[in-house]
A = this chain, B = another copy of it.
Amino acid sequence: MHTIEFSMPDKPDPKAPAGTPTEDRPVLHRFEETPEGFRWREIELLQYKPEGTHFKGITRQALFNRPDEIPAALRYFEIEPGGYSSFEKHRHVHAVMILQGRGRVLVGDSVYDVAPFDLVYIPSGKWHQFRADDDAPLGFLCLVASDRDRPECPGEEDIAVIRSIPGLDAFVRL
């Protein structure tokens, strides 16, 4: 892993907050492409959501989540071909970068085709849903603030609106 090993004395930084942990964490998480999808060494594969909401075929990996160091979390989600994320909204925003595959994303009143490295900004309060194409997975990074509200699912009234708009009704999975 290391190509060179040498010892440069690290002098303690007098300005560092007491107890700053810097020593006991791996510097490198090596990427691995597997038949089951993208993986990173020593990073746990997690359930997409602990509670039951309507989604299909998603994995989640918390790539960086140390709120004491950066008050934001960088997660990787991978949706299997034909799968989708929950249709939801919340006050916090998402900053997304597509990493692999193909799919579409609904944001507010529009649907966008997405491809690797495209950036998607999901504003506060907008309904949104990601869908992978039927013949490809959709993998993406999603950056959120550590301090954020819980997602809201559509109520009966919202569902009635969705059902009344053909383009929306055809896209949304509930």
Contacts and interface: CB of A to CB of B under 8 A. Distances in A.
Interface of A: 1-10, 12-13, 15-16, 20, 22-23, 25-31, 38, 40, 43, 63-64, 66, 69-72, 74, 89, 91-93, 95, 97-99, 104, 107-127, 141, 143-145, 149, 161-162, 165-168, 170-171
A95 B70 contact: yes
| Copies of this chain held together in the complex | 2
Nearest to A5: B110
Contacts of A168: 4, 6, 8
A125 B13 contact: yes
A121 B91 contact: no
Contact of A64 (B63, B98, B119): B119
